[in-house]
């Protein structure tokens, strides 16, 4: 996706930047998973996060395909599922972007949806890099 899309629609950039800036960390392990770490089962958390990354990568491909095909309902469904999955593993900034994508899937402009999808993919990559055992907090 071309980065020029965000220059075409600066108001979209503002909404997502606000959502991302309201979340201090890209990734903070939620209490439900932190309990595994504290009980000595860090491998379980590593496995859960790896499954999240694998499933989300596949869903992002489906989301991009839906966007390319103009299938707004499939786009909305993928964004909804990704939003929930990100929230469950503590990827709050990513979840916020998927929420915006889900909300605008039906009536957003193509440029807006492209920009949000680009931001989601970028945030996903950055979040996955944070999901290392030394960052479990």
The tens digit of pLDDT for each residue in 98-125 reads 999 999 999 999 999 999 999 999 999 9
Instruction: Single out the residue of 102, 95, 100, 104 nearest to residue 127, CA to CA.
Output: 95
Give the chain's domain count. Answer: 1
What is the DSSP code (8-state) at residue 1? -
At residue 43, φ and ψ (nearest 5 deg) are -60, -35
Which CATH number covers residue 18?
1.20.120.160
Residue 91: in which H helix or E strand, if any? none
Instruction: Single out the residue of 68, 72, 66 nearest to residue 107, CA to CA.
Output: 72
Query: In sequence order, which residues have a C-beta less than 8 Å from that of residue 65 and are 6 or more positions away?
Result: 74
Query: In sequence order, which residues have a C-beta less than 8 Å from that of residue 99 and are 6 or more positions away?
Result: 19, 79, 83
What is the DSSP code (8-state) at residue 132? S
Q: Which residues of the chain carry a pLDDT beneath 70?
A: 1-24, 137
Residue 102: in which H helix or E strand, if any? helix 92-104
Distance CA 105, CA 97 (A): 12
Query: In sequence order, which residues have a C-beta less than 8 Å from that of residue 13 and are 6 or more positions away?
Result: 6, 115
What is the per-residue pLDDT for 135? 79
- Domain coverage including residue 111: 4-135
């Amino acid at each position: 996706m071309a980065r020029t899309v965000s220059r075409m629609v600066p108001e979209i950039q503002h909404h997502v930047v606000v959502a991302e800036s309201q979340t201090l960390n890209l990734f903070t392990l939620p209490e439900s998973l932190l309990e595994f770490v504290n009980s000595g089962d860090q491998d379980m958390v590593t496995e859960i996060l790896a499954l999240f990354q694998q499933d989300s990568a596949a869903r992002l491909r489906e989301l991009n395909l839906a966007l390319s095909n103009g299938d707004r309902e499939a786009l909305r469904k993928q964004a909804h599922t990704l939003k929930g999955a990100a929230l469950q593993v503590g990827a709050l900034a990513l979840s916020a972007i998927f929420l915006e994508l889900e909300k605008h899937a039906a009536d957003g402009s193509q440029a807006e949806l492209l920009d949000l999808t680009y931001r989601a993919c970028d945030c996903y990559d950055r979040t996955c890099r944070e999901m290392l055992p030394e960052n479990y907090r």
